[in-house]
A and B are shown apart, each in its own frame.
Chain A
Amino acid sequence: MPLMDALPIRGERWARWCPNRVMLCLTVAMLAALWGLDVVSVAPNRIVQSTGYPVWQALGLPGAGLATLLLTVMFGLAVHPERSGYPALLAASCLLLLLLPFGLMLASHWLITPGAAQARLGIGPAYWTLLFMLSLCLVELRLRMRLARGWMLLIILAILGVWWLCAALWLQPLALVQEFQARQEAFYRALGEHVALVSIAVTVSIVLGIGIAMLIRRFSASRKSAFAVLNFLQTVPSLALFGLLLAPLAWLAARFDWLAAMGIKGIGWTPALIALIAYSLLPMVRNTYIAFEAVSPAALDAARGMGMRPAQCFWQVRLPLALPILLEGVRITTVQAVGLAAVAALIGAGGLGTFIFQGLGQAAMDMVLLGALPIIAMALMADTALGALAEKLRQGDHPAQGERA
């Protein structure tokens, strides 16, 4: 009925107005944070309390104006997303993320007198809020635009690269950079330890997890008790588990010399590794079990009926069909292990957690950040990379299952 369509109906315009509410809220919140919260803080040296500065003092009017302009443009785009398109929103978000370190440079130019080598620039709450909200924007835009995870990974890597470059070359006064430069060697060692802990724990738990899942499938009577044990392991608080492992491991090391010679003792990497593996087992076993259960019985029946040997059934049909869900288990396990390994620093296992706990002890928030930020970045990258891999493997499969909200 074209005539009816042409009639102006009250409220019609509003009914058709379908803005992207998520982006609207995020941009409004970002504008509020930008103007309401401190953008940076400056302290004359490491010990003295720092003072915060709002956006117009930190970035100067041109900088503040540019940031506000970009956010306003994003707001405008979010009002009519179907027309202007999401690519523009994505571009604006990425541009803002790329400009963040340059803002810090501006701030150090305005607020820090040249020659004050001890002066430190702290990142203020407005900056963190902006960073967090922009990440949320990226998530929302990825879902709306149905971008593959691989593309997102590329974008994030590019942005991180630019940040790294800026921090290394031009952001000497930034407290974070100063903390890093003071303990560069320790940082790389801790990073290595962290990666080693996580990768060993995840590798072992993949092997063990698949093995246990296969055993549970073979002996289906054991399913309930096996999952009960794994669930129990998962509920023990991590610190308590470290404590529980301390005594028996110390006893073992004292009793058997060859164990002590291997470096096994009550504290250090041994209990950390055992605890990490114990926590990783539940998601690994559960996902492996579900993955193998979910393989279509018709496909397996056909595989057998076509004359595949049991091994061919497994490698050609069962495993490839189970792999996406299995990888999901690896993803959950890895992200969880990256976080948990931070706690392991408490029992002397090293890793990036060391900086967090040292920083907390010295009330030096920038040192805490030095430990926390790489952990967050690692978790995000592991999540995105493994998610992208699972998505790729799913290609032949039903796309409906592949879309995770």
Chain B
Amino acid sequence: MKIDIIGSGVSGLCCAHAFLERACEVRVISASDALDSSCCSWWAGGMLAPGCEGESAEPLIAALGVESMKFWQALTPNYTRAGTLVLATSRDRPLLDNFARNTQGWQKLASTQMQDLEPDLAERFNSGLLFADEAHLDPRQSLGQLIEQLKSRGVEFTQRVIDDGPGNEYSSVADWIIDCRGLGAAHQLPDLRGVKGEMLHIHSTEISLSRPVRLLHPRIPLYIVPRANGVFMIGATMIESTERSRASVRSVLELLSAAYALHPAFGEAEIIEIGVDARPAFNDNLPRLRRRGKTLSVNGMYRHGFLAAPAMARRCVEFALDGIIPKEVMDENTP
């Protein structure tokens, strides 16, 4: 069976992998010929944190997340299962209680445990919540590995921009067209919106972290994800806007102040990169599978690209090849 996949973000690549596993002939068409900043997966945090996300996400996300984590664990050597640490400064302590009340799968840490887990933070934070089952990965490395694997197994990558303009509808002899363009498909999916996010990469040798840390704050919730070689990813703002460029001074200032509040050593860190993009999301912030003819669109990953994409890809393949309708994510099935 011939499958065309449009889009090479985390969603497109996971779909390509899933169809390949079922012995389909897969082609990936994307706007860029390399893995780069043109897709918002490039800017992802790479936290696989179904428990923490449960604070504001529907239970479906946790279910998809647990399933997806197995995929990443098998695929990428940089998958690290070290849990997530959730902290609050003493003045924001009530937020930690709120967070605990609205989530599951955590354990409360005493100061001796903090010392064992994150010695650099123990002096400043004597309590927190540990979500021990959670993991993280490096998104760019993982996507790179996925592309390499797909190419070595014969998947063809074609560069072409498909912009949905009138008269420019994509047509193909493929049996299924899998549309994974994210906000690039906004013309076809008018209920898709953008949620702008800004992030930074910084470098410091003065502090080390073994796991993602979330610092709760009433207005500026922050996470820091450790990457290899002293690099940290700091993210991310959530602004109701389709704007995909223009990181604002205020956002960067807030993110960096929060990092500084986590540990003053971040004050001396080097800023490597400031990134900005918009996440594709539907109104309930849940992903969707939609069929229109032989086009299947997989979209609306919101801030859960890495957490949801492998599980969504499996549903997409099972629908296309086995006719199994995934009721929990499919809201249109027009033959």
Bind each other: no
